A and B are shown apart, each in its own frame.
Chain A
Amino acid sequence: MGEENVLNVAGRYDQIRTIIKFVTAGGEAAGLDEKALFHLELCCDEASTNIIEHAYGAEDVGPIIVSFQAQNEAFVVTFLDHGRPFNPEDVAEPTYYDDLSDSNIGEFLDQMKVGGLGIHFMRRLMDEVHYNFDLKKGNELTLVKYIPERGV
């Protein structure tokens, strides 16, 4: 199991790029390809945005603590915050994907407001998404991306 790397930043939008660079550098070193790194970038962006907007409700309310670990077959990223419990499993999938049109777009936009689209991206682009809430630790969101086998 690889060493754990930790970054602790203020919960602000201008820190999201720092988080993305930190995580994707780790992902690249772990052997993720360009496409997987792009997916990781988007999911880290959405996870951080949801922490600021929904767990904390504003910027500069509390920290975002990000850590990653490269295990044998998986790259594991964990987000911790001390905001309100925000369980992605409680956020419904946006309803319309295949038939999104002018008639249902308003409903879809409402769902996007509660972080639904970011969560959808995480579910679609990561291999595993886990959530845990602990009174001491706060919200803990874990994103897992499998590392393709490297050629010998």
Chain B
Amino acid sequence: MMSIMQLQLIPCLWLIEVEGRLDQSQTPELEKILKQLQNDPQCSIIVDFSQATYINSGGLRCLLTSSRLAKSQGGDVVLCGLKARITEIFDMVGLNHVFTIYSTRGEAVDHFDSLQSDAPTGNSG
């Protein structure tokens, strides 16, 4: 079973949940969604891997390309919920140094929450 779901958590913050295998069967779809979301230049994205069981080099390349674009536009792509096997693949290539990786979705959301509350919004009091 596999699917990719997207959900807007707050303005400029999206959650993408990848289920099953991030290989040639799903990567083109993920690539399309990421590109679409990144039309909004400062948009940040949390990719939740807790339901993902596999990733190959094509999946890694897609995430890296998206992360690079996000950072150049002032946004970010962070990951969460990686299983041990997937973590092993990220570590093997050093991608654990490139991505901010959270254990859970909650921690990833908290990270952006804290950024929001630190930002001068003008209506926060």
A: residues with CB less than 8 A from B are 13-14, 16-17, 38, 41-42, 45-46, 49, 94, 96-102, 105-106, 108-109, 112-113, 117-118, 120-121, 124
Main secondary structure of the interface of B (DSSP, over half): helix
From A52, which residue of chain B is reached at the shortest CB distance? B24
Query: Is the pair B24, A49 in contact by a Cβ cutoff of 8 Å?
Result: yes
Query: Is the pair B98, A100 in contact by a Cβ cutoff of 8 Å?
Result: yes
Query: Is the pair B94, A99 in contact by a Cβ cutoff of 8 Å?
Result: yes
Task: Write the nearest CB–CB distance from A38 to chain B, whole angstroms.
Answer: 5
In whole angstroms, what is the CA distance A124 to B65 when docked? 23
Main secondary structure of the interface of A (DSSP, over half): helix
Given contacts A16-B23, A106-B68, A109-B64, contact A97 B94 (CB under 8 A): yes
Binds A, one of B4-12, B39-47, B52-60, B115-123: B52-60
* Interface residues on chain B, number (Cβ under 8 Å): 22
Query: Is the pair A100, B24 in contact by a Cβ cutoff of 8 Å?
Result: no
Given contacts A49-B56, A117-B61, A118-B57, contact A105 B97 (CB under 8 A): no
- Say whether B1 faces chain A, with CB atoms less than 8 Å apart: no
Given contacts A16-B24, A42-B89, A109-B65, contact A100 B57 (CB under 8 A): no
Give every chain B residue within 8 A of A17 (Cβ-Cβ): 25
Given contacts A42-B56, A49-B58, A100-B97, contact A124 B92 (CB under 8 A): yes
Query: Is the pair A38, B92 in contact by a Cβ cutoff of 8 Å?
Result: no
Given contacts A118-B57, A121-B57, contact A105 B98 (CB under 8 A): yes
